[in-house]
Chain A
Amino acid sequence: MEETFGNYSVIGKQMPRVDARAKVTGEAKYAADIELPNMLWGQIKRSPYAHAKILNIDTSKAEKLPGVMAVTTGKDFGGFKWGWSGPTRDEEPFATTKVRYQYEGVAAVAAISEDIAEEACDLIEVEYEPLPGVFDPFEAMQAGAPLVHENRPGNICVEYHWNFGDVDKAFAESYLVREDIFQTPRMAKGYIEPPAVIAYWPGPNRLVFQGAKGSPYFPYRILARCFNLPLSNVRVIQPFIGSDFGGTKNDMVHCDFAAPMLAKKTGRPVKLVYTQFDELTTCLRRHPMWITIKTGVTKDGILKATYVKAVADGGAYTRMSPLTMFLVGTCMTMPYKLPNFKYDAYNYFTNNPSSAAMRGHGLYHSRFAADVQLDMMAKELGLDPVEIRLRNAIENPEPGKVYETVNEVHMATCGIKECIEKVAEAIKWEERKKTKKVEGQKSYGIGFSAATYNSGTKLSAHNACAAIIRICEDGSINYLTGASDVGQGSDTVGCAIAAEVLGVVLEDIDIKRVDTAFTPVDPGSYGSRVTVLAGQAARNAALDAKQQLLEVAAQQFGVKPEEVEIKNKQVFVKSSPDRNMSWERLVRIACYDTPGKVIIGRGYSSQGITLLGLADLSKGVGDIGTNYSFTAQAAEVEVDVETGVVKCTDNSVIAHDCGFPLNPQAVETQVQGGSYHQGVAAALYEEFKMDKGQTLNPNFIDYMRPRAYEAPMTQVMHVITNDPYGPFGAKEASEGSCCSAPPAVINAIYNATGVWINDLPAQPEKVFWALKAHKEKKKGKK
C-alpha cells in the first residue's frame, strides 16, 4: 500500500505529521483555547444596515454597565486605514462615518464576562441614516447607482484589459467558435474554527497577539503601523490554526483590531471569539463571478483563441480583489496551449461582505468555464473529451528548457499529459464510454478536467522568507520558520527537508509555532507558496548548518569538507566509510572543543524573487508562481433523474503533478480535500443566499457543506516531474484539485443526462428544472 518516491532517507515516504499527536489528543491549543489570568472578554457592536451613514455613536450607557472595562470605536484609531496593499488601504478597523455591509463593526466592548460584553453592546446607541445600496455587480455598474466608496466612481474596484496575440484573426480562422456564460457561487471559506484572538500589552509599548491567523506576518505589520510600534515590539505568537483557505485568516477582521485596542485601554488581556454566525455574515468570501468565454478551435479541436470577460462581486472593500482578478486571467494559457488570449476583468464594489482569496484562488472560476466549454466543443466536433485534452495539453519541456505561454508565464515542468492519460486509464474510460450506465432512476456519467495552479506564489512586496536551523549540543535540532502550518502539513515537510539535508531522522527536528519575536519573517500561508519557498529556505538553512559541521568533521578526519558525508546519523569519509563517527559525537566536538562553536544555519528563499521577475498585475504578464502544478481529474456522478439530486461516486480519480511528493500521504490528503471541500462543494452544494445584503443562510444547516456520507473515496495518483525550481523537485498540492473538481463534476452530469449546468452549484432544484426542460425540448423535437 505504501508507495515511496526517490532515493531519500526521510522525504518521499509515508511519515506521521509532527503535530498529529497533539491534535488527536486534544492537547493542541487553538486561539479560542487560550486563557490568561485577569483576562477580559470582548464583543463587537455591528451595524444592522448594509449601507448607512453613521450620524452618532453614544457609548455612555454601555460604559456605565457594571463589569464593563472599556469601549472602543473607530475614532480611537485616529484615521488609520489598512488594506491588502499600499494603494488599496480603504478599510478602517471600525467604520466611523459610513457602514458598507450588513453587520460591519462600529464599536467593541471589553467586560469581565461574555454575557456582560454582549449586554453592553446592546446598550451602545448608534444613529444611522440608511442609504440605498448595490447588491450585485450588475446593479453596481448602472449609471447613477449609489456609490459604495464616494471616491470610486462607477463602483469599479478592479479593471484589467489584456490582449495577447491576435484573438479576432484567430476567431475568424477557427472552424468552430462558441460563446458561453458561466457563473460561480458566493461561497464561505468553510473552515470550522471561527476567528478568535487574545491580545495583551506586557509593557507600555509592547503588544502580544495570539490570533487564528494563517499568515502571522500580516497582523505583525498591520498592527505595528496601526499602533505606531516598532516591529521588534509586536509579538505575534501562533496558536494552532483550524484551517485557513485565504482571506479572513490572511489579514484582519474586526476582532483583530478590537482585542489589542481594548487590551491597551484596560491594561488587561482581552479575548474575542467569533461565532460561526459572525464568520458567515461578516467574514471574507469567495467571489461570485460571471464569466463570458468565447473560444475558437480548429476542426481537430486545437485551441486557437480564447476571450474571457469576468465580472465579479468584490463586496464592500478592495481586500485582495486585484490579485483575484489577475489570477482569473493569468493561467488561462495553461494547461493547454493557447496562442491567442484576450481578457477583460471587472470587479465591482457592492454592499455585500468583502470577497477575497480562497483555496483555488482565481483560477478556479476561469478553469471551470474553460474546461466545461472544452467538453461542449468536443461534443460539437464529435471528439472524445480525453482526446481533445491530450491534443491541446502542454508538453513537458525537455530538461533545461522552459515553456513560455503567450502571456509570459514560464514552466520548466508540466506533467499534464501524463495526468490525463493516468486518470483515463484508471477510470477505464475506453471500456466505459461504450456503455451508458443507468440503474432505475439513477443515471451515471463520467466527466474529465485538467487544471493548473501556481505554486510558490510571489507578490510584489514582502517576499522575504527565511529559516534558521539551530544545532543543540546533544545533536537535537531546532528548526525556526516564519511559515505557518494551517493544516496543509508544512511543519512536517519543513522538518523532513531539514532532516534529509542534515542526515538525521525526522524525530531529531523540533519545530514550534511561529513567534515573531524569534522566528524569521515569512509572507504567509497563501498561494501554495509555503512548501516551495519556505521549503527552500529550510533546505538552505540546513545546508549552511551542515557545512559548518562538515568543516569540523573534515578537521577530525584530516580531509577536506567535501570529502565527508552525513547519512542516517553517521558521519563518514566518502571514500572510506569505515572512518566514521556518530552524529552526536560530531556535534559534541563542534560545540565543546575550544573555543566551542555555536552552529546556526541560516537560509532564505531566493527563487521566489530572482527567477524571472515578478508578475505585472495590470498588464497580465509574468510569473505569479515559482512553478506550476498540474492536475487531471475523472469523476463519476450519480444523478437521480426524478429528484435532481447529484452525488459523486467512489469512482473518482485524480492524477496530480506536484513535481515530487515530499510527503506522499500529505499530498494525497491535500488533493482529496481540495477537490471535495472547495471544488465539489462549489459544483454541487454551497451557495450563500442573499437578500439586499443580508445573508439568509448563515449557518451550517441552511448553508450546505459536503459531508462524509457523500464523500467520494478519491484515489490520488502521483505524477513525478522533479521541478528544478522547487526544493527536491516539489510544486504545490491541493489548490489544483479545487480547480479541476467543478468542471469534472459538471461534465459528468452532462455525460449522465445530456444537460449542462453553467451556473454553480448544481443543487437538486436547479438540476430538476434543467432535466425537465431538456426532456420537454427532446419531446418537442420529436
Chain B
Amino acid sequence: MKGEMKELKLTVNGKPYESKVKANTLLVELLRNELKLTGTKVGCLDSACGACTVHIDGKAVRSCSVLALQANGRKVTTIEGVADGDKLHPIQEAMVEYGAIECGFCTPGMVMSAKALLDENLNPTREEVREAIQGNLCADEGYVKYIEAIEIAAEKMRGGQ
C-alpha cells in the first residue's frame, strides 16, 4: 500500500530530526510541508530549474529529485541554514551588495549551488562558476551579476577585500 509510513532520521541545518514518512515523499516535500522550511522553492519538479537545491552531506542536490528516505542518516542543509544568525554568508552578502537579486525565487537555489562550489574550491575560474550554477534557472536578471557576486564572495572568503 502506498500509504505505508517509514522511519526517517536525518540532520537538517544542524538539528536532528526524526519522523515517519510515506515512501514516495520527496525531500522537498518533507522540507517544505513538514519542516516548514519554505526557503527551498519548487519550480518544476523535473530537476530542471534548480530552485529546490539543497546540500546533502555538502553536495548540491535538487531536493525534488531525491526521496526523503534517501536522505536518511545524512546531513541536509537548506537556505535557512546558510547565514550565521543575523550574519549573512559572504555569498549572500555579495549577492545583496552587488545587486544580483531580482525576484528572488531562484536565489536560495543559486546560493546553495554557489556554496557547494566555494566550500570545495575557493579559487574557481569563471567557467567553474558558470558550471556550478548552470542547473539553476533564473528568468529575469541575466546571470551576469550572480556570476560576478559569486566571484566577489570567493575573493572575500580567500581573505582578500
Interface residues of A (CB under 8 A from B): 14, 16-17, 19-30, 32-33, 35, 190-194, 240-243, 245, 273, 275-276, 486-489, 665-666, 668-670, 672-677, 699-701, 705, 707-709, 711-714
CA distance A766 to B46 in the complex (A): 27
CA distance A488 to B139 in the complex (A): 12
- The verdict on B101 contacting chain A, using a C-beta distance below 8 Å, is yes
Are B105 and A243 neighbours in the complex by a CB distance under 8 Å? yes
Residue among A22, A28, A245 having the largest count of chain B Cβ atoms under 10 Å = A28
Q: How many whole Å from B32's CB to the nearest CB in chain A?
A: 8
Residue among B40, B108, B140 having the largest count of chain A Cβ atoms under 10 Å = B140
Q: Mark B97-117, 1 if CB is under 8 A from A, else 0.
A: 111111111111001000000
Given contacts A24-B104, A30-B105, A191-B105, contact A673 B99 (CB under 8 A): no
Residue among A699, A708, A713 having the largest count of chain B Cβ atoms under 10 Å = A708
CA distance A174 to B143 in the complex (A): 44
Are A26 and B103 neighbours in the complex by a CB distance under 8 Å? no
- The verdict on B15 contacting chain A, using a C-beta distance below 8 Å, is no
Are B141 and A192 neighbours in the complex by a CB distance under 8 Å? no
CA distance A16 to B96 in the complex (A): 6
Q: How many whole Å from B124's CB to the nearest CB in chain A?
A: 13
Are A709 and B49 neighbours in the complex by a CB distance under 8 Å? no
Residue of A nearest to B39 (CB): A26
Given contacts A668-B99, A701-B46, contact A19 B142 (CB under 8 A): no
CA distance A192 to B42 in the complex (A): 8
Selected from A276, A487, A708, the residue in CB contact (under 8 A) with B46 is A276
Are A16 and B99 neighbours in the complex by a CB distance under 8 Å? yes
Residue among B44, B134, B145 having the largest count of chain A Cβ atoms under 10 Å = B44
Are A669 and B142 neighbours in the complex by a CB distance under 8 Å? yes
Are A708 and B143 neighbours in the complex by a CB distance under 8 Å? yes
Are B43 and A23 neighbours in the complex by a CB distance under 8 Å? no
CA distance A677 to B147 in the complex (A): 15
User: Which residues of chain B are within 8 angstroms of A243 by Cβ–Cβ distance?
Assistant: 102-103, 105, 139-140
CA distance A714 to B148 in the complex (A): 12
Are B41 and A23 neighbours in the complex by a CB distance under 8 Å? no
Interface residues of B (CB under 8 A from A): 32, 36-46, 48-49, 51, 78-80, 82-83, 88, 92, 95-108, 111, 127, 130-131, 133-147
Are B137 and A707 neighbours in the complex by a CB distance under 8 Å? yes
Q: A26-B38, A192-B106, A699-B46 are in contact. List 4 more A-B contacts (CB 8 A).
A: A20-B96, A20-B101, A669-B144, A673-B142
User: Which residues of chain B are within 8 angstroms of A489 by Cβ–Cβ distance?
Assistant: 102
Q: How many whole Å from B27's CB to the nearest CB in chain A?
A: 16
Are B49 and A192 neighbours in the complex by a CB distance under 8 Å? yes
User: Which residues of chain B are within 8 angstroms of A273 by Cβ–Cβ distance?
Assistant: 42
Are A276 and B79 neighbours in the complex by a CB distance under 8 Å? no
User: Which residues of chain A are within 8 angstroms of B106 by Cβ–Cβ distance?
Assistant: 192
Given contacts A24-B88, A242-B41, A701-B48, contact A673 B130 (CB under 8 A): no
Are A192 and B104 neighbours in the complex by a CB distance under 8 Å? no
Given contacts A21-B88, A489-B102, A677-B139, contact A700 B48 (CB under 8 A): yes
CA distance A191 to B46 in the complex (A): 15
Q: How many whole Å from B68's CB to the nearest CB in chain A?
A: 16
CA distance A117 to B41 in the complex (A): 22
Are B95 and A24 neighbours in the complex by a CB distance under 8 Å? yes
Residue among B38, B80, B131, B141 having the largest count of chain A Cβ atoms under 10 Å = B141
Q: How many whole Å from B116's CB to the nearest CB in chain A?
A: 14
Are A26 and B108 neighbours in the complex by a CB distance under 8 Å? yes
Selected from A487, A699, A714, the residue in CB contact (under 8 A) with B44 is A699
Residue of A nearest to B108 (CB): A26
CA distance A21 to B89 in the complex (A): 11
User: Which residues of chain A are within 8 angstroms of B42 by Cβ–Cβ distance?
Assistant: 32, 273
Are B45 and A276 neighbours in the complex by a CB distance under 8 Å? yes
Are A26 and B78 neighbours in the complex by a CB distance under 8 Å? yes
Are B136 and A708 neighbours in the complex by a CB distance under 8 Å? yes
User: Which residues of chain B are within 8 angstroms of A700 by Cβ–Cβ distance?
Assistant: 43-44, 46, 48-49, 137
Given contacts A242-B104, A488-B102, A668-B145, contact A705 B40 (CB under 8 A): no
User: Which residues of chain A are within 8 angstroms of B139 by Cβ–Cβ distance?
Assistant: 190-192, 243, 245, 673, 677, 705
Are A714 and B142 neighbours in the complex by a CB distance under 8 Å? yes
Between A and B, 17 residue pairs with Cβ closer than 8 Å are A16-B97, A23-B107, A24-B101, A27-B39, A28-B104, A192-B51, A192-B106, A242-B105, A488-B102, A488-B140, A669-B102, A669-B142, A670-B102, A674-B142, A700-B137, A709-B127, A711-B144
User: Which residues of chain B are within 8 angstroms of A16 by Cβ–Cβ distance?
Assistant: 96-97, 99
Are B130 and A709 neighbours in the complex by a CB distance under 8 Å? yes
Selected from B38, B80, B82, the residue in CB contact (under 8 A) with A33 is B38
User: Which residues of chain A are within 8 angstroms of B83 by Cβ–Cβ distance?
Assistant: 25
Are B133 and A708 neighbours in the complex by a CB distance under 8 Å? yes
Residue of A nearest to B146 (CB): A708
Selected from A240, A674, A709, A713, the residue in CB contact (under 8 A) with B104 is A240
Q: How many whole Å from B88's CB to the nearest CB in chain A?
A: 7
CA distance A102 to B57 in the complex (A): 43
Q: How many whole Å from A724's CB to the nearest CB in chain B?
A: 28
CA distance A670 to B103 in the complex (A): 11
CA distance A709 to B144 in the complex (A): 11
User: Which residues of chain B are within 8 angstroms of A241 by Cβ–Cβ distance?
Assistant: 103
Selected from B36, B39, B134, the residue in CB contact (under 8 A) with A708 is B134
Given contacts A23-B107, A190-B139, A242-B105, contact A699 B48 (CB under 8 A): yes
Are B80 and A26 neighbours in the complex by a CB distance under 8 Å? yes
Residue of A nearest to B43 (CB): A192
Given contacts A26-B80, A192-B137, A668-B99, contact A714 B104 (CB under 8 A): no
Given contacts A35-B36, A276-B44, contact A193 B103 (CB under 8 A): yes
Residue among A22, A674, A700, A714 having the largest count of chain B Cβ atoms under 10 Å = A700
Given contacts A21-B88, A487-B102, contact A672 B43 (CB under 8 A): no
Are A714 and B144 neighbours in the complex by a CB distance under 8 Å? yes
- The 10 tightest CB contacts between A and B, nearest first, are A26-B39, A487-B103, A23-B104, A242-B105, A672-B142, A665-B99, A26-B79, A700-B48, A33-B38, A487-B102
Residue among B39, B101, B144 having the largest count of chain A Cβ atoms under 10 Å = B144
Residue of A nearest to B29 (CB): A114
CA distance A26 to B38 in the complex (A): 7
Residue of A nearest to B24 (CB): A115
CA distance A30 to B106 in the complex (A): 12
Residue of B nearest to A489 (CB): B102
Q: How many whole Å from B31's CB to the nearest CB in chain A?
A: 11
User: Which residues of chain A are within 8 angstroms of B80 by Cβ–Cβ distance?
Assistant: 25-26
CA distance A237 to B88 in the complex (A): 28
Given contacts A26-B78, A276-B43, contact A669 B100 (CB under 8 A): yes
User: Which residues of chain A are within 8 angstroms of B107 by Cβ–Cβ distance?
Assistant: 23-24
User: Which residues of chain B are within 8 angstroms of A677 by Cβ–Cβ distance?
Assistant: 138-140, 142
User: Which residues of chain B are within 8 angstroms of A29 by Cβ–Cβ distance?
Assistant: 38
Residue of A nearest to B81 (CB): A26
Q: How many whole Å from B117's CB to the nearest CB in chain A?
A: 12
Are A192 and B95 neighbours in the complex by a CB distance under 8 Å? no
User: Which residues of chain A are within 8 angstroms of B40 by Cβ–Cβ distance?
Assistant: 26
Given contacts A242-B104, A243-B102, A669-B100, contact A20 B95 (CB under 8 A): yes
User: Which residues of chain B are within 8 angstroms of A713 by Cβ–Cβ distance?
Assistant: 144, 147
User: Which residues of chain B are within 8 angstroms of A672 by Cβ–Cβ distance?
Assistant: 141-142, 144-145
User: Which residues of chain B are within 8 angstroms of A709 by Cβ–Cβ distance?
Assistant: 127, 130-131, 134
Q: How many whole Å from B81's CB to the nearest CB in chain A?
A: 9
Residue of A nearest to B107 (CB): A23
Q: How many whole Å from A142's CB to the nearest CB in chain B?
A: 37
Are B44 and A242 neighbours in the complex by a CB distance under 8 Å? no
Selected from B38, B99, B131, the residue in CB contact (under 8 A) with A669 is B99
User: Which residues of chain B are within 8 angstroms of A193 by Cβ–Cβ distance?
Assistant: 41, 43, 103, 105
Residue of B nearest to A214 (CB): B103
CA distance A276 to B40 in the complex (A): 16
Residue of A nearest to B129 (CB): A708
Are B99 and A17 neighbours in the complex by a CB distance under 8 Å? yes
User: Which residues of chain B are within 8 angstroms of A21 by Cβ–Cβ distance?
Assistant: 88, 96
Residue of B nearest to A663 (CB): B99
